[in-house]
Structure 1
Amino acid sequence: MPVKYVRYAREMGPAWIISAVACGPATLASVAIAGVSYGYQLLWVVILSAVFGTTAQYLAARVGILEGQGIIAATEKHLGKRWAWVLTVDALLATWLAAMVLMSALSGITSLVTGVDTPFWGMLYGILISVFLVRKGYRKFETLCKILVIFVVACFVATLFMAELSLPGIVQGLRPNLPGGLNAAMMMAAIMGGAVHVTIIGMHTYNTNARGWKQSELSLARFDTFTSMGLALGLYSVAIFLVAAAVLHPNGIAVTSATDAALALKPFLGDNAMKIFMIGLWCATLTTLSPTFMAGAYFISDKMGWELDVRDKRFAAAIIAGCLVSMLGPFVKGGFFLLLPLMLALGLTGTPLIIAIILYLLNRSDVSLRNSALLNLMGGLTLLVTSFLAVRFLLTKIGIA
């Protein structure tokens, strides 16, 4: 391995926090339910989600590095306060909705593991996580994210090698197709929303600033994004999807809860399948929820002109506000495992705006290093496909499509 890549491996990090969020329970639920419900049909969406997720996150990193500030401040500087407010509200609504559903998931998993079924688990977790984030800050949490994401990815990749896959089914699944119905439209939007979501795109502009990366680190940012989103998220999503399609779909097993999804591992892990699955799901939820609180605080604080640091009491208060909102999640009726894909699908509807703004910012005549033709092509495709899936989901939801 060339010396520079050894250094990159040592110094990478911001995109791994994003990957930790993307490799969360919502993506797990979405790809598992899609594999169970449609077999290999939606494999092309799973792969495109990793490709477009990598594209969107690298574009976000470029904004953070070239502008030297977060997406909200950059939007206000170049497009004015009105668009900055629109983007802030858009990002914050999607982020706090995600926080509520994720807290519901964390509470639900804990209830399953302990046998104590109460929504008040959310209050306990909200307090603990907020204290951890306010006291410890960015760097130590980044290390925790790396460890837990690697564990979750390894768990499902290992399972993939033991599944009996259908090569003809995989080849067929690589061909774009659009199954009809609301459920299919929601699952396609949810899969894409797991990797291309306004929360993680916006947050990444702040992550690169937190590390102090400059224009000279653009190649490091590209390596960081490719390894975390392209490889780690890609392996995670494809592995879970293929296991669900190969093990559960042929047997007609419906996945409506976390315990149903764990059945995919039982033929290979025996009685330990449920334990391992729940550990992985708990880790995935925790590594998703904590950065979500940070993202909400970044959006609010950047718009208000506050310091983006936990040592600023206003920033800390914004983190706590997100925690308080999330505590309402466990009190919402409905199984959390089925709410997770819906949350991602709804989040995707707010994502095209931030992609469009990022493309504008990176193609201004006065930007120090404008996008290449290839980057604009990939960014344009990301905007087009995410917009199509989001609009299709909304039209299907209201009964028009």
Structure 2
Amino acid sequence: MVSREALAPVSVTRYRPGPAMLVTAAFIGPGTVTACASAGIGFGYALLWALVFATLATIILQNMAARVAIVTGQGLAEAILEAAANPALRWTIAALIFASLAIGNSAYQAGNISGTAAGLKLLGAGTLSPALLALATGLLAAALVVVGKPAWLEKLLIALVLAMSLAFIGGLAVIRVDWGAVLSGFLPRLPADSLFTAIALIGTTVVPYNLFLHAASVRGKFAPDAEGLAASNLDTGLSVTLGGLLSMAIVTMGAATAKLTASGAGPLDDIALRLESLFGMPARIVFALGLVGAGFSSALTAPLATGYVLAEMTGGANDPVRRTRIFKRTALAVVVIGTAFAFFAVNPVELILIAQSANGLLLPILAAFLLWVAARRQSLGAFANGPIANLLGCAVVLVCAGLGARLILRSAGLWP
């Protein structure tokens, strides 16, 4: 059971944004903007409760992933594979991780780059074609991934998160919000035909690859003791809560424009045009700036996470040169594949929504692996999950699995 000291509070006045900001930078991407704007336009404030659940679930799972890494000194993939003594199980887990990260993140990267290009176009770069904007974004991301140092990449991502905060939360100042209706959205309910969107909201927030990214980024940042874990918990709580507020702000923007007829320009352009027609050019610029920050931050974190995981799985614990080489090549491959999809104008919006829902279905499997590792006293000793942590983790897994099962049954015509 985790000791009380491990959960002791750390003064917020001493807080500085840390590795958990990478989690926020990762999950506030074009997928989040699309899913949240679509939720607001289609269902008003009715699905805000899903974001509250997703934010709390993210904090619970990310804290576990960070604790495993801090105490063991291993990445999450390393810890999971080491705990799997059976070779067949180990290969199965490795294949699942590879499929969900290496393949999935390459697909997400197309949406990240396309979303950044869409934001640049809204800011006035419309004289350039979407393909050229996507190519320029991809080249910049590739350069940063290849030559960037982890320390200043982290600072860049923190800056992008803070810029997004000013854009999306600050954007509420230029629109008229019905706060009574907002509060009603925190009562759990599923309006007709909203299940797919609710799962997308959860899937876009509780992102499986963030578990691995966070674990890789906290190693060496916090001491493996009670005070270090408390500082990590504070970092996670504040960073992820900020991300949850950003998502809710985007839903609110969508809901505020829901009464307008769609322009037919596509969801990302459409929400910007709706905002402009209701609240003027400043609202459109605010949304575009947020979209650029969301897209580019995720365009960096998706390849970084994939590179970390593949290096952990194949690089060899005692060969840092080989691990670095695998990390760089894997991250670059994700950027290149995503840029190619974006350059050839594969429509990102439908892919993003489908991918986010698939994320919500995949999450219970990876979260179950995390719970298993976080509860192992052989690795974590006194810092292994206690009954409360296990109960909260299981609740998150069960709710996500239930939503996913209902979606599958409805798709098969077995659920009304």
TM-score w.r.t. structure 1 length? 0.89
Distance, in Å, in 1 between the alignment partners of 2:279 and 2:220 is 41
- Distance in structure 2 (CA, Å) of the matches to 1:148 and 1:388: 34
1:387 aligns with 2:401: yes
The structural deviation recorded for 1:267 is 6.3
* Cross-structure match for 2:366: 354
Task: State which drifts further: 215-224 or 373-382.
Answer: 373-382
Does the CA contact (< 8 Å) of 1:88 and 1:303 recur in 2? Answer: no
Contact preservation (8 Å) 2:65, 2:374: no
Residue 49 of structure 2 is matched in structure 1 by 44
Matched, 1:114 2:113: no
Is the CA contact 1:40–1:169 (under 8 Å) kept in the aligned structure 2? yes
What pairs up with 1:128-167 in 2 under 5 angstroms? 128-167=140-179
1:198 is aligned to: 208
Q: Look up the match of 1:371.
A: 385
For residues 212 and 36 of structure 2, the distance between their equivalents in structure 1, rounded to whole angstroms, comes to 23
State the Cα distance separating 1:333 from its structure 2 match: 5.3
Q: 1:21 aligns with which of 26, 29, 36?
A: 26
Written as runs of structure 1 = structure 2, the 5 A alignment for 1:240-259 is: 240-245=250-255, 247-251=256-260, 253=262, 256-259=266-269
Structure 1 residue 269: deviation in Å? 5.4
Shift of 1:33: 0.8
- Contact (CA 8 Å) 2:119, 2:292: kept in 1 or not? yes
Cα pair 1:47 1:234 within 8 Å, conserved: yes
Q: 1:173 to 1:6 in 2, by over 3 A?
A: closer
Give, in whole Å, the separation in 2 of the partners of 1:328 and 1:210: 35
Instruction: Report 1:90-239 matches (<5 A).
Output: 90-111=100-121, 113-181=125-193, 184-209=194-219, 211=221, 213-216=223-226, 217-230=228-241, 232-239=242-249
* Preserved CA contact (<8 Å) 2:303 2:334: yes
AA aligned to 1:386 is C
Does 1:5 pair with 2:12?
yes
Q: TM-score, with normalisation over the residues of structure 2?
A: 0.86
Question: What does the per-residue CA deviation read over 1:249-273, in whole Å, with 9 as the maximum and x for residues that have no partner?
Answer: 2445578422221245436752233
Superposition pairs for residues 301-312 of structure 1, below 5 Å? 301-306=311-316, 312=324
Tell me, yes or no, if the aligned pair for 1:159 and 1:265 is still in contact at 8 Å.
no
SS of 1:174's partner is coil
Q: Which runs of 5+ in 1 are unaligned?
A: none
Structure 2 residues without counterparts, runs of 5 or longer: 1-8
Query: For the residues of structure 1 that align with 2:253 and 2:173, how far apart are their CA atoms?
Result: 9
- 1:145: how far off? 1.3
Distance 1:99 1:114, change over 3 A: same
By how many angstroms is 1:335 displaced?
4.1
Q: Deviations over 1:155-196 (max 9, x none)?
A: 222232454434553343222222343xx2221111101211
Shift of the 252–90 alpha-carbon distance from structure 1 to 2, 3 Å rule, reads same
Conserved in 1, the CA contact under 8 Å of 2:311 and 2:323? Answer: no
